[in-house]
Homo-oligomer: A and B are copies of this chain.
Amino acid sequence: MVGMQGLDLEAAKQLAIGMIPFIERTGVELLELEPGRLKAKMPFEPNINHIGTMYAGALYTLAEFPGGVVFFSIFDVTKYYPIIREQTIRFLRPATTDVTIDVAITQEEVDRISREIDEHGKANWTWEVELVDANGEVVATSTNHYQGRAHG
C-alpha cells in the first residue's frame, strides 16, 4: 500500500475506510484529512444499541482507526507500518448523537518515531483521544498505544 500524501479527501477516504469492511459498515465519515491530522464522524443511527445510545464498539472503532490513517498520511510508508498494541477506552456519558474526533501528530513526533524505527526496527507512541458528541460534550476518552515497525 502507498502513502496518502497528495491524495484528495475522496481518494483518501476510499483508501482509509474502504479497505477495512468492518470500518466501512459503521458508516464513519472522514471529514478532514491533511498530513498528520484527521477529523472523523461516527454517525449515530446505524450504531445505536438496545438502549438508544451509541454502541461501545462504534465508539471504540472511532477512537482506533484514525491511528493508522494519520500514520499513512504523514509517515514514509514505503519503510514503516503501524500496529495497535493496547487501547483503553473510558465511557464517560451515553452518546445520543453523532460523535466526532479530531486527532493529530506533530512533525517532531513523526521524526522521533521514524528515527527510532530506523535505529531499533520499532518505536512506540501513545495517543490520548477525546470523543465528542454534537453538544460538545466528551462522551469517551481513549488511550491508544501504537507501535511503528520497519517493513521486512
Chain A contacts with B in 1-54, Cβ cutoff 8 A: 1, 19-23, 25-26, 46-51
Q: For A55, what are the chain B residues with a Cβ–Cβ distance below 8 Å?
A: 20, 22-23
Decide: B90 and A57 in contact? CB cutoff 8 A: no
* Contact residue among B20, B56, B81, B83 (Cβ-Cβ distance under 8 Å from A91): B83
Flag if A84 contacts B88 (CB, 8 Å): no
In terms of DSSP, what is the predominant structure of the interface of chain A? mixed
Q: How far is the CA of A69 from the CA of B104 in the complex (A)?
A: 36
Interface size class of A (residues with CB under 8 A): 20 to 34
30 A-B pairs within 8 Å (CB atoms) are namely: A1-B50, A19-B50, A20-B48, A20-B49, A20-B55, A21-B46, A21-B48, A22-B26, A22-B46, A22-B49, A22-B55, A23-B55, A23-B57, A51-B81, A56-B87, A57-B57, A57-B60, A57-B61, A57-B65, A60-B60, A60-B61, A83-B91, A84-B91, A85-B90, A85-B91, A86-B88, A86-B90, A87-B88, A87-B89, A88-B88
Q: Measuring CB to CB, which residues of chain A are less than 8 angstroms from any residue of chain B?
A: 1, 19-23, 25-26, 46-51, 55-58, 60-61, 64-65, 81, 83-91
